[in-house]
Amino acid sequence: MLPPALLAASLLAGPVSTEIALPAQPAPLHGTLLTPDGPSAVAVILPGSGPTDRDGNSPLGVAAATYRLLAEGLAEQGIATVRIDKRGIAASVAAGPAETDLRFDAYAADARAWATEAAARAGLPCAWLIGHSEGALVALKAVENDDKICGLVLLSGAGRPAGAVLREQLASLPEPLKTQAFAALTELEAGRTVADTPPALAALFRPSVQPYLISWLPLDPAALLAAYDGPVFIGQGTTDLQIGVVDAQALAAAAPKATLKLWDGVNHLLKTAPADRAANMATYADQALPLAPGVAEDVGAFIRANER
């Protein structure tokens, strides 16, 4: 770990942002390396579900730039980051397979490859994985048998299998949609595709996405974490409308040595937000809103305290 005086001096020049490409089939993957002078650690930021890009934005109404802000906050602490456009998204769109061919393991394999690339570019023995939302599960799956990963930072990540979380989110559907949705989930969890789903459920259960769901639904984040013995930081906001404190607590119970941090009044995108749904969701499109105080600082302090 750098002494405080040396760390402060190394940051005066400011971090350097570099566009990088990772060789992959059928096309390269793309990301941004943000490097302070003489980084003491490097981390790969893994995005959440859907069309979320390397900065944490999405055409589905999200413009919070959570990952860019986190990368900048970590750079101020001497930590380099690689934030990525996952396979099929933004600049990595050409690397995406047809939806029917996508499997969860592909994201985990890409995360391992990015960790190796990040460590090599930073001249360090390993890289951290920072997974946000679904990216936390990608990190947990990627860390199996990989010595290029220093440890895990799991932010706003589910602590239960996806089916349990989806049932909570779908519980407010009117009947008979709720019963139909739950029945479809049960079939997919058993590894069977569903032939007939109502048009109102097509966005979630369309035939082309069902093979991916079958690869994803059986994964148990708590079980994956229990099998990992490296350093782990679990961060969760108390006003998260998508993932609850109960999930963070489930993860912490699976890894008693992990560091659990609950951020009061912080939402899914790691911004300060009230519990009121409308006001909370308004932060998703607020480009000027910074990360909640303490988020980047807590993550950076944990990484620095556990450097190899």
Give the pLDDT band (50/70/90) at residue 10.
very low
DSSP state of 92: G
User: Which pLDDT value is given to residue 12?
Assistant: 56
pLDDT digits 0-9 by tens, 117-144: 999 999 999 999 999 999 999 999 999 8
The domain ranges of the chain are 4-160+219-305, 162-218
| Region 65-80 average pLDDT | 97
More confident residue, 6 or 86: 86
pLDDT digits 0-9 by tens, 214-225: 999 999 999 999
Is residue 264 classed exposed, middle or buried when 0-12, 13-18 and 19+ CB atoms within 10 A define those classes? Answer: exposed
pLDDT digits 0-9 by tens, 261-296: 999 999 999 999 999 999 999 999 998 999 999 999
- Using CA atoms, how far apart are residues 62 and 60, in angstroms rounded to an integer? 6
Residue 47 to residues 16, 65, 68, 176, 230: CA-CA distances in angstroms? 21, 11, 11, 33, 21
**pLDDT at residue 9 above 80?**
no
DSSP state of 292: P
User: Which pLDDT value is given to residue 93?
Assistant: 95
pLDDT digits 0-9 by tens, 18-29: 999 999 999 999
Give the residue from 36, 43, 39 showing the smallest Cα distance to 11: 36
pLDDT digits 0-9 by tens, 83-97: 999 999 999 999 999
Neighbours of 28 (CB within 10 A): 14
- The two beta strands, 259-263 and 232-237, are parallel
pTM for this entry: 0.91
User: Which pLDDT value is given to residue 11?
Assistant: 46
Residue 20 to residues 107, 204, 228: CA-CA distances in angstroms? 18, 33, 30
Classify domain 4-160+219-305 at the CATH superfamily level: Alpha/Beta hydrolase fold, catalytic domain (3.40.50.1820)
Give the pLDDT band (50/70/90) at residue 3.
low
Is residue 53 classed exposed, middle or buried when 0-12, 13-18 and 19+ CB atoms within 10 A define those classes? Answer: buried
